[in-house]
Amino acid sequence: MSVTVVQVARDFIATLKQNKIVSETKVIVSNHNWEVTPSLHEIGELVARIQSTGADIVKFATTATNITDVSRVLHLLAHSQVSVLLCGW
């Protein structure tokens, strides 16, 4: 996820707050990686960057190709302190 996407999400959420829409709206900020499942460290950093935008829900989509990929994703779910949606193929 590039810094540009994070900044766009921050700007969008700031606009919602300025217009007092946030109290009625839940914002999902999403990252999709259809090629690999990142390392546990990279997933953690990604979730932190998404969360820093002010997102209510973090969505992470990846392609898990083996049990190790699945375990990293499940670890994220078990230890996350924010709402997380996970998608995979």
Please list the pLDDT of the chain residue by residue as tens digits (89 residues): 555 678 888 888 888 888 877 666 788 888 888 888 999 999 889 888 888 888 888 888 888 899 999 898 888 888 877 777 766 65
What is the CATH number assigned to the segment(s) 3-88? Answer: 3.20.20.70
Using CB atoms within 10 Å of the CB of residue 66, give its burial: 0 to 12 exposed, 13 to 18 middle, 19+ buried. exposed
Q: Say how far apart CA 67 and CA 53 lie, in whole Å.
A: 31
Q: Read off the amino acid at residue 53.
A: T
Domain boundary assignment for the chain: 3-88
Confidence (pTM): 0.75
Q: Say how far apart CA 38 and CA 22 lie, in whole Å.
A: 31
41: number of Cβ within 10 Å? 9
Q: Say how far apart CA 35 and CA 32 lie, in whole Å.
A: 9
Q: Say how far apart CA 56 and CA 53 lie, in whole Å.
A: 9
